[in-house]
Structure 1
Amino acid sequence: METVKIAFFDTKPYDRDYFDPLLKDPAFPLKLKYLNVRLGPDTAALASGYDGICIFVNDRIDAVTADILYRQGIKIIALRSAGYNNVDLEALRGKIPVVRVPAYSPHAVAEYAVSLLLTLNRKTHKAYSRVREGNFSLAGLEGFDLYQKIAGIIGTGQIGKITAEILRGFGMEVLASDPYPSAEWAKAHGVLYIDREELIRRSDIISLHCPLTPENRRFINRGALSSMKPGAIIINTGRGGLIDTRDLIYALKENHLGGAALDVYEEEDRYFFEDHSGQVIQDDVLARLMTFPNVLITSHQAFFTREALSAIAETTLENLRRFFEKNERPHEIKTA
């Protein structure tokens, strides 16, 4: 078998740490070309001469990019992520198959969602900064017990289920909403499925774990936010586009929400995963969001554990191996 060449877009140092050791297997001659740039219409030409490409969440395949890749003879697109809202599947239909990593570490994301909730509620990030500066005052650090509060989980895939189980461990009542309820799981863990609108009205904590689709884009909008309990907290480790950020800012300005903890943002591809500490943030919406004392923002970090990175590398390379050796596509995203 001839060496398979893959253009690896949006490379970070940790990608090399987890992919390189796996490339030593002589049974599958694979060569990765690590590229620091993100994939898009202006960089798609860099894939010329390669058999396939590997992309991450901030790479973009629109119709123009898809056409360039197809004309260059790209045989497969391997996502090293579960989500694929950054890929125009219709533009690729019948041209280039797309495979993904469907579940790399649901525990990583679920645990991180809960850590955001605990940090925002108990203000441990603020306490840490204060004490480092010699300020031991407790003023302004008041939180509330999670015990007997109501948590609403929107989306009960693996991550949503694990989050619900963790919150049940705090003694919380857990409500759930999903187009495909898991009745047996819900019964076993004391979770109650209800419709999404009722969940939004009743919950003290709302945690988003659903994929981003055209149907639910910005479903957390001014109407949904206004129907939430005064003082409710919203957690988003799913996709930024689930929340209308301008409407979220309005709700925060009105002091209706207790707070928001966001690991994702609608326009995150401009800033997330990169160091912009020496620059002025030009995104006025993001800059405004960062001014609120009851908003906690992290940079799409929820997946970032050793276990998850190992699983991503292993599954991605296995997807490529099975495609080129056996023409198998175990984790293909159907484009028809």
Structure 2
Amino acid sequence: MKAVAYSIKPFEKEFLAKANQKKHDITLISNSLSLETAIYAEGKDAVIVFTNDDVSAPVIERLAGFGIKYITTRSSSVDQINVAAADKFGIKLANVPYYSPQAVAELTMALAFALNRHIVKAEEQSKHFDFRNDELIGFNFYGKTVGLVGLGKSGLAVANIFNGMGCVVIGYDPAFPENTNNIREVDLDTLFASADIISLHLPLTPGTKHIINKAALEKMKHGVMLINTSRGELINTKDVVVALDNGKIGYLGIDVYEYEKGLFFEDHKNDIDKDPILSRLMDHPNVLVTPHQAYLTREALQEIANQTIKNLDQWQNNTCVGNACTGIKKCQDHEVNQTQLKKAHVN
């Protein structure tokens, strides 16, 4: 099968090559997918995309005009893809249903630890031989209540770590997993009101967008720690800035950002005009931002590459079936949860 992979970073090449074993003719380009760059798909069978590529209806229509029959994304999320447009033009979709939930869970914990113990500030001071402890006081995680919003594979992996630290773990998910003895099921309002630490592990859907907003924040404890390693648009960033200003949020760790498209994964240090909202966030000493790197372990990268090639294999062999090989089915499954989320969504 002939394919073009967009938004390829240099470090991805070895993992894709190892997974592909020269089975498919894949052109790797660093450009992101857009109306302009869709031309690189001409003469190909499939397109391989990533989270910040433009896979909107106009782009899909152009890809269809070039004869594209398949689109696979190197991510579990499919919110960047206009699924209806793909269906309209008969383009089959695939994703990576999951990959190394431990990678996401471990970065979640890294953000929480670094924020709590002021690691960034301590390291910066130590570089200048300033070894004062005055502003480095943290808290024990032991005995604290952790609220997990979303209990898929990464959410459950985070729960295991917090449980091991002696935390009380509560969780909310419209499809709460069975046989989960280490997480107490609560409704969303109870989670917001009870948790000392809140961590988000949800896909982005119409029902989950801005699930963290002004009304939700008002229900949380003063000084709450909020961590997001899922999707940036789960958080209404402008509301969060206000909550940081008034102390409602005591610690914020985000690996994703509401307006990250065209910003994350690229070097913008020489930009004259920096993103104003992100700049305001990072002006707060109790905020830690990482550039969408939760997936960035060797194990996760190989799993992503393996599933991407497996999707191409299955399409080529006409064996692509089930959740592992259809974004349309994945999105339809989310619709069931969206209705329940909207009922519990804080407006």
Q: Secondary structure at the match of 1:277?
A: coil
2:108 to 113, 137, 162: 113
1:62 to 56, 59, 70: 56
Given that 1:7 and 1:32 are in contact with CA atoms closer than 8 Å, whether structure 2 keeps it comes out as yes
* Deviation sequence 1:298-336 (CA, Å, 0-9, x none): 000111001000101111001101111234244211267
Superposition pairs of residues 303-322 of structure 1, within 5 angstroms = 303-322=295-314
Given that 1:231 and 1:256 are in contact with CA atoms closer than 8 Å, whether structure 2 keeps it comes out as yes
Task: Tell me, in whole angstroms, the C-alpha distance in 1 between the residues paired with 2:119 and 2:242.
Answer: 26
Q: Secondary structure at the match of 2:293?
A: coil
Given that 1:281 and 1:287 are in contact with CA atoms closer than 8 Å, whether structure 2 keeps it comes out as no
Task: Tell me, in whole angstroms, the C-alpha distance in 2 between the residues paired with 1:134 and 1:114.
Answer: 28
Alignment pair present for 1:227 and 2:219: yes
Given that 2:79 and 2:204 are in contact with CA atoms closer than 8 Å, whether structure 1 keeps it comes out as yes
2:37 to 29, 32, 43: 43
Given that 1:108 and 1:305 are in contact with CA atoms closer than 8 Å, whether structure 2 keeps it comes out as yes
Which 4+ runs in 1 deviate beyond 4 A?
none
Given that 2:19 and 2:302 are in contact with CA atoms closer than 8 Å, whether structure 1 keeps it comes out as no
Alignment pair present for 1:16 and 2:27: no
Residue 281 (structure 1) shift: 4.5
Q: Secondary structure at the match of 1:258?
A: strand
Alignment pair present for 1:88 and 2:82: yes
Q: Secondary structure at the match of 1:184?
A: coil
1:288 to 271, 280, 287: 280
Please say which of residues 156-165 and 271-280 is displaced more in the overlay: 271-280
Please say which of residues 90-99 and 279-288 is displaced more in the overlay: 279-288
**Which residue of structure 1 lines up, in the alignment, with residue 4 of structure 2?**
7
Residue 227 (structure 1) shift: 1.1
1:137 to 132, 139, 142: 132
**Which residue of structure 2 lines up, in the alignment, with residue 202 of structure 1?**
194
Letter paired with 2:278? L
2:159 to 158, 164, 180: 164
Given that 1:77 and 1:96 are in contact with CA atoms closer than 8 Å, whether structure 2 keeps it comes out as yes
Please say which of residues 323-332 and 232-241 is displaced more in the overlay: 323-332
Unaligned runs of 5+ residues in structure 2 are 333-347
Letter paired with 1:115? A
Given that 1:82 and 1:100 are in contact with CA atoms closer than 8 Å, whether structure 2 keeps it comes out as yes
Alignment pair present for 1:71 and 2:85: no
Task: Tell me, in whole angstroms, the C-alpha distance in 1 between the residues paired with 2:54 and 2:252.
Answer: 27
Given that 2:228 and 2:254 are in contact with CA atoms closer than 8 Å, whether structure 1 keeps it comes out as yes
Aligned CA-pair RMSD: 1.3
**Which residue of structure 2 lines up, in the alignment, with residue 218 of structure 1?**
210
Task: Tell me, in whole angstroms, the C-alpha distance in 2 between the residues paired with 1:41 and 1:91.
Answer: 15
Please say which of residues 176-185 and 231-240 is displaced more in the overlay: 176-185
Given that 2:201 and 2:229 are in contact with CA atoms closer than 8 Å, whether structure 1 keeps it comes out as yes
**Which residue of structure 2 lines up, in the alignment, with residue 266 of structure 1?**
258
TM-score under structure 1 normalisation? 0.94
Task: Tell me, in whole angstroms, the C-alpha distance in 2 between the residues paired with 1:17 and 1:281.
Answer: 35
**When the two structures are aligned, how many residues end up with a matched partner?**
327
Residue 218 (structure 1) shift: 0.4
Superposition pairs of residues 177-192 of structure 1, within 5 angstroms = 177-185=172-180, 187=181, 189=182, 191-192=183-184
Given that 1:212 and 1:242 are in contact with CA atoms closer than 8 Å, whether structure 2 keeps it comes out as yes
Task: Tell me, in whole angstroms, the C-alpha distance in 1 between the residues paired with 2:309 and 2:44.
Answer: 16
Cα–Cα, structure 1 residues 69 and 327, in superposed 2: closer, same or farther, change >3 Å?
farther
Task: Tell me, in whole angstroms, the C-alpha distance in 1 between the residues paired with 2:18 and 2:147.
Answer: 41
Task: Tell me, in whole angstroms, the C-alpha distance in 1 between the residues paired with 2:111 and 2:73.
Answer: 26
Residue 5 (structure 1) shift: 1.2
**Which residue of structure 1 lines up, in the alignment, with residue 316 of structure 2?**
324
